[in-house]
Amino acid sequence: MPIGNVQPSVRPARTGRTDGAAGATTRRGGARPRRGGGLRSERYAPYVLVAPAVLIIVLLRLYPLLLGVNFSFTGDGDRNGVAVGFDNYLELFRDPLFRTALGNVGLLVLLLPVAVAIPGLLATFIYLRVPGHRLYRGVYFFPAVLSPVIVGAIFNLLLAFDGPLNSLLGAVGVAPVDWLGDPDLAMFMVVGVHVWATFGMGLVVFLAGFATLDAALLDAARMDGASLPQVIWHVIVPGLSRTIQFVFVTTMIGMLTSMFGLLYVMTSGGPEGSTYLPEYYIWIQQGQMNRPALASAASTILFVIMLVVGLLQIKLLSRAGREA
């Protein structure tokens, strides 16, 4: 009797455990497909979200770019639509105006560090809260909202041979200077006006980069007695390396593709073609000379120049950031 009473009580317990384990296994087994499906959807979600932007870029940017490159290998005028190989490119490099435009591109690349250093230093002073930093933040950005045509007209008056600047120089005994009529000075004047009119955007980007900078590093540098140049070179530059790269590339693109308004109003490419840039040359060939294929070839060269210079800048700045 005691043995018979024990056996029934043990068996149901074992059966219950087995059923419970089987039920747990079934539940776990049933959850796995749902978990795998969730992981798969999460894996493809970024591609689905990015797809519309990629499609727009391909249709509105890359496809027209490829069409322009293909068009640059065709002829103009009587040879419209006829494949001419590299004839347009050879003609470009034989044109002294285009060679001058390429030389001015080299000048812009040399002046690019100055165009980036100005907003960088001003943003540093604003970040360090120099007296009046709130006022400077608005004043520095104000020129960026002006149209290039308006800016060009203003500086045409200021830099005229009988304008206020030469009048001020005459008051201190300095002979008047033909700022926009001298081939050796005109390009520097246009670039200087462009930098004044556009550095506000770079200033805003630098200020956004300072918001991500670790303030403890600046405090530690001050505690160690570091000077301002040392703080800038050893703390700020490495901490803002990505921001500096972005400002370098965007400033370069702006200088190569956004100076048409100033050139048209201030110098019209003169004097003696000394202020020609590729974008102004492209407009002349397309709009006045009715040579769209030649303009497409010049556009292709300009794109290659921006691509190569931009990649070299990113590489050099990355190396400088690691060394700093």
Which CATH number fits the domain that encloses residue 272?
Answer: 1.10.3720.10
Here the tokens at position 138 are 């608005």
If asked whether residues 66 and 119 sit together in one domain, one would say: no
Q: Answer whether residue 205 shows pLDDT above 90.
A: yes
Whole-number Cα distances in Å, 92 to 89, 96, 230, 281, 296: 5, 8, 47, 10, 11
**Structural domain range at position 267:** 86-323
Last residue in a domain, options 45, 71, 97:
71
- Give 55-110 pLDDT, tens digit per residue: 999 899 889 889 999 999 999 988 888 999 999 999 999 999 999 999 999 999 99
- Residue 232: its pLDDT value, please? 85
Residue 165 makes CB contacts below 8 A (sequence gap 6+) with 158, 159, 179
If asked whether residues 49 and 156 sit together in one domain, one would say: no
Residue 78 lies in a domain: no
Query: Global pTM?
Result: 0.79
Last residue in a domain, options 15, 45, 71:
71
* Euclidean distance between the first and the last CA atom of the chain, given in angstroms as a whole number: 89
Last residue in a domain, options 15, 41, 71:
71
If asked whether residues 167 and 226 sit together in one domain, one would say: yes
If asked whether residues 103 and 196 sit together in one domain, one would say: yes
State the Cα–Cα distance between residues 105 and 256, nearest whole angstrom.
7
> Are 284 and 269 spatial neighbours (Cβ–Cβ below 8 Å)?
yes
Residue 76 lies in a domain: no
State the Cα–Cα distance between residues 81 and 6, nearest whole angstrom.
100
If asked whether residues 179 and 297 sit together in one domain, one would say: yes
If asked whether residues 58 and 91 sit together in one domain, one would say: no
Whole-number Cα distances in Å, 142 to 34, 51, 197: 56, 37, 8
